[in-house]
Structure 1
Amino acid sequence: MLNSFLDLTPSAAAFWRRRVYQFSTCAAAYNSQALRDNEAHSEDYETYQRRRKTEWKRRQGGQSFLDHLIINVRGGKGGNGCAAFHREKFLPFGPPSGGNGGRGGDVYILPTPELTTLTSVAKRVRGENGGNGQGTWQNGKNGAPLVIRVPLGTIVREIPRGDPRRTKDEWEAEAEALEGLEPAEKQAKMRDNRWVHYPRYSESNVERDAFKEAEQLLFKQERDRRYARRKREIEHPIYMDLDKEVEVEEDPNLPLGLPRKDALGHLVASGGQGGLGNPHFLSQDNRSPKFATRGHEGERITLSLELKLLADIGLVGIPNAGKSTLLRALTGGRAQTEVAGYAFTTLNPVIGVVRVAADGSFEGGLSEGMVHEETLIEEAQKQTKMEEGAFADALTRNQQAHSDAVTRGFGAGHRFDIIEHFRFTIADNPGLISKASENVGLGHSFLRSMERSLALVYVVDFSSPAPWDEIAILRDELEQYLPGMSNKARMVIANKADLLAADSDTASIEDAKVKLKRLEEYVEKKLTVEDEYGNQRSLDIVPISAKYSQNLKKVVGLMQEYVVEAREESKREREHQS
């Protein structure tokens, strides 16, 4: 090989050296890809697919769940007035008959309990424009109101002037469009934006005294509107906490099919007034007005929407602590959360409803002993498709009973019967990691969803070597994000306790008891807080197995006490404020 290279010219030798290098590079890439394929096939295929899906969602920045959004809202533009004169047989010179323009559509914002994310809200919202006026005194149609639907718990703030995120209002936008023009050209452009002239009378109207008086009055009204807008922005900027549904009383005096304005929600941007037809300018001195006004621009405003989910109980834990499995077990499989054996399975907050009977039993408790694990669902589904042929459905009684029980346990069309006495909601929040309060990853999004819960519950992996270290991380992240937020914590759930007592070995059971005792001592020493009345309050500790639905009745009973106490306290505060 060396001799063959020596026989080549320098250029040919350089060519073959490049080809050898390219070949070696391709071979290395092929080997690395083969290694990745072997790693993928070494683990369960379904788990590998779910892991890839989770990583893809994280790379997308959590677009499936949106809890903070800046939107530009513009009310509809009013329709133009019409400059026309009535004409009919034997009446060649009738009176002015131009109709007024319709009013632009208003924009409302309405809290909707069915929504859980801001993904459906457009970043640019514009109300419907009003219709133009026409001859024979026909007024234009008013623009229909536009409703922005947002989830309950959304906080709406108006972005003030000077903020670079704020869009320009209608007057600032016009000034920007006229920038750089000569004074005469600028004046002509401003008149075109405000006036409608009868055909071939635009130049003569400008010279008339009646038009000059109307123009001065129009600019004065516009200046007053601009001053009122600035005053409202300074003294009463928009701030709404949409934590309740809009309550509307039926009005029997309204025509059928006409909704009350209250039912549309809260007004955020008013539509522009319609233009005036030429009959409006009829006077003793001006018997034939040949001009009308254009519609006003709708109000422009920039809003910041911040979603803070409303849930009675918020589950707080590190990734893969078993929060999603716990929520499934508490709700009887109604909450369709993602369950898998790797971290960051839950990317979006999920809210489930716990229904409790008068005797303390709850819907999920009816499935006690059932295994809440994702792989069992897949096995039950695959079991029915195991064979193709005459004996495909010929399962044994035990196989069929096991398959039905697993499917029912995860809410696949089955609903447990229970006489509901009390209900509360639980939020399964994505796992917290260290430095989440510094907005590492989607830390602020995770923490924001917990901020408005009435009570927080720590969920730790009791099978880990040091579950108290997990509690320390969770508490520090809550405090760094919002001081005092960790005081909402009321309980520590030591999940996966079944793993420590999996064997009947007496030594392992004793080790589990010692570990639980140490966890209780840590909680009593580090997490005891003082309420507003000066009383010392320690957190409850409950070891459970969410996978097998063990010891959950005590968890539900304590959670119910927390919710009742928090609701009564909130009611007393509202009565005191009123």
Structure 2
Amino acid sequence: MLRFEFGLPHRIYRPGIYSSKLPKSAFRRGYSDQGVDSRQSDTDFDASRRRRKTEWKRKQGGQTFLDHVIVTVRGGKGGDGCAAFHREKYKPFGPPSGGNGGRGGDVYILPTPHLTSLASVPTRIRGEPGGHGQGTWQNGKNGAPLVIKVPLGTVVRELPRDDPRRAKDEWEAEEESLEGLSLMEKRDKMRENRWVHYPRSGESNVQREAFKEAEAALYKQERERRLARRRREAQPIFLDLDKEENVERAVDAPLGVKQHEPTGHLIASGGLGGLGNPHFTSPINRSPKFASRGHPGERVTLSLELKLIADIGLVGMPNAGKSTLLRALTGGRAKSEVAGYAFTTLNPVVGVVRVAADGTFEGGITPNLIHDETSIEEEQLRAQMERGEFADSPTRNQIGTGEASAVDNVTRPGHLFDLVENFRFTIADNPGLISRASENVGLGHSFLRSMERSLALVYVVDLSGPEPWKELEVLRDELEKYQPGMSSKARMVVANKADLLGGEGDPSAVEEARQKLKTLEEYVKTRMIVHTASGLSRPLDVLPTSAKLSQNLSKVVGLMRTYVEQARERLPAARR
């Protein structure tokens, strides 16, 4: 509370509120005059604070990444009918001329490859309402359909009725608005929501038999719609939007005809428009002075979950070198963050690996390029090429002369060459996985969710660590706890950061590094056997690499290509 005296604010002191004897947790959680509010424990507060901090960090960098969102969808409300009578010269008492209301707009959901996040999807979606009817038999305009675009790989689920996150449907919302009213007030409120009366005719209309019959018919239709809605809820909405929808133009379609764009899947229907007063004309009621209002649109609450579609998924502990490996394999095209601390990657990043017919890949043309926080300017790189420092790279004179079969021209740093592409596949770099991630610890489900769609998984471990084989055990157990059988997709173990072993050519250090690699291979051979769904078992391939120095990556790309080709052959034709 502030008190203003002579234009200066003075704070009124209240004993106990600003006392230093209160614990800090009281100011974090709130306080009361009787004492500290203990509704929220310190553990819950710290956990919620960590979650908020993590979400804040994930939203940095100018682009928000969301892979799970709850949205409430409401179809457009139908337009109201009109109660009017035709008037013109020499016809002072014309017939009923009120138009019908327009239908509310439907809401559709459409997958598109141009989006990579659910951040553009609003949490409250409302369809366009229909236009109201007007006099001289003018019907209202129908609401335009609303198409919500989501990324490929989005799974849409309708929340059940017992879920606390579910919003109320149109009938439950009306019941809530009528709470606390008397029977007469409820009846008047319900009539106000359903009927439009001609001016100064409301009280007389409700006394007429024609209105009572129309009201009974309206309530009967509402009961039928509500029953149909309950039957539909027995089979809730479930959509797996893993492929793009294309509309093929007919070969014999006439020129100049507008091609209809795909609208996707219907998730909420718009409400029907109200009826004008000509609809209620009968032999005993030639001039009805009432019309019906538009029906509310269908309301549903959906859970949108994005599961990235990538051919290869990198699985590893924080700071294992997954982002550096992705940069090295894609030639720097994948803009994943690289730094020397854990949890550098907070959002999944998908890169494309382009492979030539001879097995050369985009990132392997410049094998001496260092992939870390530093960058090499174009002029420096061109100078190194002129001096012949890149043994496997073409010189300036070879470029464009046909002597470099796999290279076309020099463009810019990070995009140095254009391959004669023969095969391509995608790799997903995901946030680091830690122990208890299946229980949503750390980034938890945000990481594991994006791994479900991968055709094959590749473990990435830090070979310079004391016991890299223990990381494999944690990674495999967390995958199995999250989804049984998920670890059967693993095909390879990449022992990264091999350049940190061996010292400065010290024979003892080199021998120790070889022994560590041998121990890792034995552990994988005996403890990491993968059992497939067909009952077969296979060992994992183990390859030591240095993603930073682009060493031994050709074998990695060759094996990954084999995994992807085998997995694509087993896919059903619908997903290819």
Q: Flag whether TM exceeds 0.5 (same fold).
A: yes
The residue number in structure 2 matching 1:449 is 450
Residue 550 of structure 1 deviates from its aligned partner by 1.3
Tell me whether 1:463 sits opposite 2:464 in the alignment: yes
- Would you say the 8 A contact 2:434–2:442 is kept in 1? no
The residue number in structure 2 matching 1:535 is 536
| Separation of aligned partners in 2, 1:56 and 1:438 | 17
| Separation of aligned partners in 2, 1:413 and 1:136 | 67
Where 1:118 maps in the other structure, the secondary structure is: coil
Residue 466 of structure 1 aligns with an amino acid whose one-letter code is E
- Would you say the 8 A contact 1:133–1:140 is kept in 2? yes
- Would you say the 8 A contact 1:372–1:410 is kept in 2? no
The residue number in structure 2 matching 1:316 is 315
| Separation of aligned partners in 2, 1:56 and 1:279 | 58
The residue number in structure 2 matching 1:275 is 274
Residue 294 of structure 1 aligns with an amino acid whose one-letter code is R
Residue 486 of structure 1 deviates from its aligned partner by 1.2
The residue number in structure 1 matching 2:561 is 560
The residue number in structure 2 matching 1:166 is 166
Change (3 A) 1:209 1:573: closer
Deviates more, 1:360-369 or 1:526-535: 526-535
- Would you say the 8 A contact 1:333–1:411 is kept in 2? no
Residue 410 of structure 1 deviates from its aligned partner by 11
Task: Give CA deviations for 1:410-462 in whole Å, capped at 9, x if unaligned.
Answer: 97473521121111110001111122122112211111111221110001111
| Separation of aligned partners in 1, 2:545 and 2:156 | 40
| Separation of aligned partners in 2, 1:401 and 1:290 | 93
Residue 274 of structure 2 aligns with an amino acid whose one-letter code is G
Where 1:264 maps in the other structure, the secondary structure is: coil
Tell me whether 1:266 sits opposite 2:229 in the alignment: no
The residue number in structure 2 matching 1:217 is 217
Change (3 A) 1:248 1:396: closer
The residue number in structure 1 matching 2:94 is 94
Residue 60 of structure 1 deviates from its aligned partner by 2.2
| Pairs within 5 Å for 1:63-82 | 63=59, 64-82=64-82
Residue 199 of structure 1 aligns with an amino acid whose one-letter code is P
Where 2:58 maps in the other structure, the secondary structure is: coil
Where 1:457 maps in the other structure, the secondary structure is: strand
Task: Give CA deviations for 1:495-550 in whole Å, capped at 9, x if unaligned.
Answer: 11112145233333322222211111000000112223333200001111111111
- Would you say the 8 A contact 1:370–1:409 is kept in 2? no
- Would you say the 8 A contact 2:331–2:415 is kept in 1? no
- Would you say the 8 A contact 1:332–1:410 is kept in 2? no
Gap regions ≥5 residues in structure 1: 1-21, 23-53, 385-394
| Separation of aligned partners in 2, 1:357 and 1:375 | 27
Task: Give CA deviations for 1:40-64 in whole Å, capped at 9, x if unaligned.
Answer: xxxxxxxxxxxxxx99963626343
- Would you say the 8 A contact 2:57–2:346 is kept in 1? no
- Would you say the 8 A contact 2:273–2:293 is kept in 1? yes
Residue 231 of structure 1 aligns with an amino acid whose one-letter code is R
Tell me whether 1:60 sits opposite 2:59 in the alignment: no
- Would you say the 8 A contact 1:85–1:96 is kept in 2? yes
| Separation of aligned partners in 2, 1:292 and 1:301 | 28
The residue number in structure 1 matching 2:201 is 201
| Separation of aligned partners in 2, 1:486 and 1:397 | 46
Change (3 A) 1:569 1:396: closer
The residue number in structure 2 matching 1:153 is 153
Change (3 A) 1:78 1:450: same
Where 2:111 maps in the other structure, the secondary structure is: strand
Residue 264 of structure 1 aligns with an amino acid whose one-letter code is T
The residue number in structure 2 matching 1:499 is 500
Change (3 A) 1:416 1:349: same
Change (3 A) 1:105 1:253: farther
Change (3 A) 1:529 1:258: closer
Change (3 A) 1:61 1:440: farther
| Separation of aligned partners in 1, 2:350 and 2:360 | 20
- Would you say the 8 A contact 2:333–2:415 is kept in 1? no
The residue number in structure 1 matching 2:523 is 522
- Would you say the 8 A contact 1:331–1:364 is kept in 2? yes
Task: Give CA deviations for 1:93-129 in whole Å, capped at 9, x if unaligned.
Answer: 2221111111111111111212222122111111111
| Separation of aligned partners in 1, 2:389 and 2:98 | 75
Greater share of helix: 1
| Separation of aligned partners in 2, 1:477 and 1:107 | 38
Residue 60 of structure 1 aligns with an amino acid whose one-letter code is W
TM-score normalized with structure 1 length: 0.82
- Would you say the 8 A contact 2:327–2:371 is kept in 1? yes
Cα RMSD over matched residues? 2.9
| Separation of aligned partners in 1, 2:301 and 2:159 | 6
- Would you say the 8 A contact 1:68–1:304 is kept in 2? yes
- Would you say the 8 A contact 1:107–1:271 is kept in 2? yes
- Would you say the 8 A contact 1:130–1:140 is kept in 2? yes
Where 1:125 maps in the other structure, the secondary structure is: strand
Residue 197 of structure 2 aligns with an amino acid whose one-letter code is H
Residue 179 of structure 1 aligns with an amino acid whose one-letter code is E
- Would you say the 8 A contact 1:81–1:196 is kept in 2? yes
How many percent identity over aligned positions?
Answer: 68
Where 1:367 maps in the other structure, the secondary structure is: coil
- Would you say the 8 A contact 2:98–2:133 is kept in 1? yes
Residue 144 of structure 1 deviates from its aligned partner by 1.5
Tell me whether 1:136 sits opposite 2:136 in the alignment: yes
Gap regions ≥5 residues in structure 2: 1-19, 21-49, 394-408
Where 1:142 maps in the other structure, the secondary structure is: coil
Residue 108 of structure 2 aligns with an amino acid whose one-letter code is Y
Task: Give CA deviations for 1:153-189 in whole Å, capped at 9, x if unaligned.
Answer: 1111111112211111111111111122221221111
Residue 513 of structure 1 aligns with an amino acid whose one-letter code is R
The residue number in structure 2 matching 1:334 is 333
| Separation of aligned partners in 1, 2:228 and 2:254 | 33
The residue number in structure 1 matching 2:110 is 110
Residue 449 of structure 1 aligns with an amino acid whose one-letter code is S
- Would you say the 8 A contact 1:528–1:539 is kept in 2? yes
Residue 228 of structure 2 aligns with an amino acid whose one-letter code is A
| Separation of aligned partners in 2, 1:530 and 1:409 | 46
The residue number in structure 2 matching 1:346 is 345
Residue 468 of structure 1 aligns with an amino acid whose one-letter code is W
Task: Give CA deviations for 1:220-262 in whole Å, capped at 9, x if unaligned.
Answer: 111100000001101x2101111111222335479844735xx
